[in-house]
Amino acid sequence: MRLSRYFVPVLKENPAEAQIVSHRLMLRAGLIKQATAGIYSWLPLGFKVLRRLENIIHEEQQSAGHQAIQMPILQSADLWRESGRYDDYGQEMLRMKDRHDRDLLFTPTAEELVTDIFRSHITSYKDLPLTLYQIQWKFRDEIRPRFGVMRGREFYMKDGYNFDLTKQDALHSYNRHLVSYLKTYERMGLKAIPMRADSGPIGGEDTHEFLVLAETGESEVFYDSKVTDLNFGDRKIDYFDHSACQSVLDEFTSLYARTDETHEPSLFEKIPQERQCKARGIEVGQIFYFGTKYSEAMGATVTDANGQDTPVHMGSHGIGVSRLVGAIIEANHDEKGIIWPEGVTPFHCGLVNLKQGDPEADAACENIYQNLVKAGLEPLYDDRTERAGGKFATMDLIGLPWRITVGPRGLKNGVVELTSRSSGISQELTPESTINKLISIYR
Ligand code: 5CA
């Protein structure tokens, strides 16, 4: 992509309404534009990141054996009356009527609809286990939408739902989700810590929230400092190996980490004083096991091996996809702008031509650009006739992990400069080695 033709409405000034750095940077780097309170349009650069997150989520969900579906944004109130949540949900649910005076609502989550799909088609235990998920816009009429995409009213969520015959099977699903979420966040360059939490209006007994530690986080968290040392690393986990998933879960959840201090205070007291931490975090996901709460209310049963009708055990699992864009920026930025992790960057590298219009510099850039594209990489080429300082400032703000700088002086010696956004370290390399280095980084 050529920056001269790319729609990135960069702002020079800090927008007054943005209180936290991710919101400020998302507006300044032209990722989003507020449409109205808590509702945003995603501009090309922001939308690209959102798509990259979505792809990572799809890949990890598919390898865990989960099946993607798409459910509607508008739902009939009837199903929600069946589960009892139509009245319970309160003012966060946006309600409306159609022309026939029928009650509709904008989906805040989708347990009811997916349970309806299940009960309409599945009657035997032989069709279990089953996990269906979607990535879809949700609406919750938050009383105080704030911090940009962090707490929106309209937001993008991956929501998944498992159906199992027994509690034991459902807990395997729970563990599998916990592991797949750890892997998903790690691929996004994030350290998300699973913490025990209250289950809230979704209901149920077992729940973990995934927290990214950040000063601007909305949740107060309490944990044993040792949990921050845990790393998923390069571990390859077979999602269908129950005991492997269980041992990852045990490892991560044996250490104290909660989003509310009220439970098990005695356990906290058992941790040596110097390891007791209190901090703030951004909740980027949550998984639930709620047993037969919805299946009983809505008649989602299967016949078991003895021919008995039995309600299925369920859980649901959510990832805040749009919130993650903000969380990734909170965790990866400096005073100049965003620093995208390589796994989610909107473009693989920037290409800065220091002397646009100089035939040699133009030809060298063109050549590098074409070769990167040929290798399957996406460069963002700053081909504008702006001074170098302005080009660097824009690239630093946008935050691509690598920048190639091409100028007449270097070209005389046959080299260009490759700069890491995170370390700021530059090296002079031939154009060929630069391209090869980037290929090997992103392979
Ligand atoms: N039905 C379950 C799981 S599918 C559910 O709705 N879970 S949730 O309420 O925890 O939401 C899942 C994730 O969506 C949260 O962890 C959070 O990352 C994100 N999220 C929730 N509310 C908002 C919001 N107002 N703005 C942005 N993201 C949100």
The CATH number of whichever domain residue 67 belongs to comes to 3.30.930.10
Query: One digit per residue, pLDDT tens: the chain, 443 residues?
Result: 999 999 999 999 999 999 999 999 999 999 999 999 999 999 999 999 999 999 999 999 999 999 999 999 999 999 999 999 999 999 999 999 999 999 999 999 999 999 999 999 999 999 999 999 999 999 999 999 999 999 999 999 999 999 999 999 999 999 999 999 999 999 999 999 999 887 666 556 679 999 999 999 999 999 999 999 988 877 888 898 999 999 998 998 888 898 877 655 555 868 888 999 999 999 999 999 999 999 999 999 999 999 999 999 999 999 999 999 999 999 999 999 999 999 999 999 999 999 999 999 999 999 999 999 999 999 999 999 999 999 999 999 999 999 999 999 999 999 999 999 999 999 999 999 999 999 999 99
Same domain, 381 and 267: no
Can you give the residue range of the structural domain that contains 404? 349-442
Same domain, 274 and 409: no
Same domain, 295 and 369: no
Does ligand 1 come within 6 angstroms of the Cβ of 181? no
Same domain, 260 and 390: no
Query: Could you tell me if residue 343 is inside a domain?
Result: no
Total number of domains in the chain: 2
| Cβ proximity of 361 and 408 under 8 Å | yes
Same domain, 32 and 112: yes
Tokens 């989610």 belong to residue: 344
Same domain, 107 and 193: yes
Same domain, 103 and 223: yes
Our mutation pick for probing the ligand 1 site, out of 323, 324, 325, 330, counting the most ligand atoms within 8 A of Cβ, is 323
Query: Could you tell me if residue 194 is inside a domain?
Result: yes
Write down the pLDDT at residue 202.
58
Q: What is the pTM of this model?
A: 0.96
Amino acid making up residue 296: E
Task: Give the CATH number for residue 404.
Answer: 3.40.50.800
Same domain, 252 and 369: no
Same domain, 93 and 194: yes
Same domain, 142 and 250: yes
Does ligand 1 come within 6 angstroms of the Cβ of 136? no
Cα-to-centroid distance, 139 and ligand 1 (Å): 10
Q: Could you give the maximum distance between any two Cα atoms of the chain, in Å? A: 81
Residues forming beta bridges with residue 33, ordered by sequence position: 41
Query: Could you tell me if residue 71 is inside a domain?
Result: yes
| Cβ proximity of 52 and 267 under 8 Å | no
* Residue at which a domain ends, from 338, 373, 405: 338
Write down the pLDDT at residue 328.
98
Does ligand 1 come within 6 angstroms of the Cβ of 135? no
Write down the pLDDT at residue 96.
97
Ligand 1 atom at shortest distance from the alpha carbon of 201: 9
Same domain, 92 and 153: yes
φ, ψ (nearest 5 deg) of residue 349 = -155, 160
Same domain, 58 and 8: yes
